[in-house]
Structure 1
Amino acid sequence: MNIANKLTILRVILIPVFLIFLLTDFSTHNNIYALIIFAVASFTDFLDGYLARSLNLVTNFGKFMDPLADKLLVSSALISFVYLEWLAPWVVIVIISREFIISGFRVVAASDGLVIAASYWGKIKTVFQMVMIIVLMANFSGTTIYYIEQILIYLAVIFTVISAIDYMVKNQHVFTEGSK
């Protein structure tokens, strides 16, 4: 197992730790700890991709597991945000629906021996989602921050939809013709 794949696994391991701090109140600094853990986990996404490409460590495991780790991290945060009433449910439904759709594409493609790696739009979507989550967790106050949060939420949703359309258009052959 190479370093890039180990970082991906670390990201998955950090999810329950992140959730414990986000959803409990055994410390007055839980939100700060949750924010730091989420930021570290998000950074591992950048770092594992960079290392995999620059050191030629790209593997099928990484192509599959890296986007899955991102989905798990982001989805767990977003679902928690609905519970905490920090985010409207429709935002989470749009984002998670996209993840199910793309996962479906990946499963069908995998049954044909294909691995669908993350696209440019998928990476942009992930960055905006993670930045949005970090800003919401920072819990700054003020009118300006409120508008920045709203802009980030809408940008995350817009890039999520663009990414879904991009995957469906580029990979429609998976459903219409199979891998041939």
Structure 2
Amino acid sequence: MTLSNRFTLARAIFAPIFYVLFNLPIWLNSHTLGVVSACIMIPLLAVIEVTDYWDGHYARKYNEVSDFGKLFDPFADVILNLTVFLCAVEAGYMPFVLFVLIFYREFSQTFLRMVALKKGVAIAARMGGKLKTVFYIIAGFFFLTLESYTRFAFPFIPEFIDNIIKTSLLWSTRTLFVICVLLSWGSFIDYIKSFHSILKGSD
């Protein structure tokens, strides 16, 4: 396996690890684990998200760009981002209907890539898809900031200020989730328009 694909693989492997890390304090009803997880979730996710840059960088640097990499990279992104969003749903921050809309979009896009691959065309990420991914990441970090703040439960912050902070973060996060849905379906429509000839010619 090439170096660039190893970075991509790291994102796919990290997804279930993140899910367990997020939920373990809840499953064990442990405030201590909750604080520990609040300290490491954001930095850990930041590091793993950087691998999305590294895989592309090294693929170009060592001439490792391949059709497999063009499929594997967005697949790893989807697995990781859907895992983060699933945690947001379970924590009550992301409406389930928004998650379902994103889930349908992502797997419809995967189907489109498979159809294109059958025709000998590897669909690389377009600008709309890249913008969508950026907002996925931003929304994920906003959600984790809110959850980490809640898990810390700062006792020295006055209640009314605490409520303002939580409410502001919550509505900012939910607004970003809505934007993610709009961008995801907008980019999907763009993919369909750009590659409609491939779909039209499918058996």
**TM-score w.r.t. structure 1 length?**
0.90
SS at match of 1:137: helix
SS at match of 1:24: helix
In the alignment, structure 2 segments of 5+ residues that lack a partner are: 150-164
What is aligned with 1:122? 129
Q: Distance in 2 between matches of 1:137 and 1:109?
A: 36
**CA positional deviation for 1:34:** 2.5
Aligned length: 179
For the pair shown, the structure with the greater C-alpha radius of gyration is 2
In the alignment, structure 1 segments of 5+ residues that lack a partner are: none
**AA aligned opposite 2:37:** N
CA deviation profile, 1:6-64 (whole Å, cap 9, x unmatched): 10011112112211111111513213323222222211112212332344321122101
What is aligned with 1:172? 196
**TM-score w.r.t. structure 2 length?**
0.80
Q: Distance in 1 between matches of 2:91 and 2:80?
A: 17
Contact 2:93 2:174 (C-alpha < 8 Å) held by counterparts: no
Question: RMSD over aligned Cα, in angstroms?
Answer: 1.9
What is aligned with 1:20? 20
Contact 1:105 1:174 (C-alpha < 8 Å) held by counterparts: no
What does residue range 9-158 of structure 1 map to in structure 2 within 5 Å? 9-25=9-25, 27=33, 28-139=35-146, 140=149, 141-158=165-182
Of stretches 135-144 and 152-161 in structure 1, the one that deviates more from structure 2 is 135-144
Q: Distance in 2 between matches of 1:81 and 1:143?
A: 15
User: Following superposition, which runs of at least 4 residues in structure 1 exceed 4 angstroms of deviation?
Assistant: none
Q: Distance in 1 between matches of 2:5 and 2:83?
A: 21
SS at match of 1:113: coil
- Distance change in 2, residues 1:92/1:39 (3 Å): same
Contact 1:8 1:69 (C-alpha < 8 Å) held by counterparts: yes
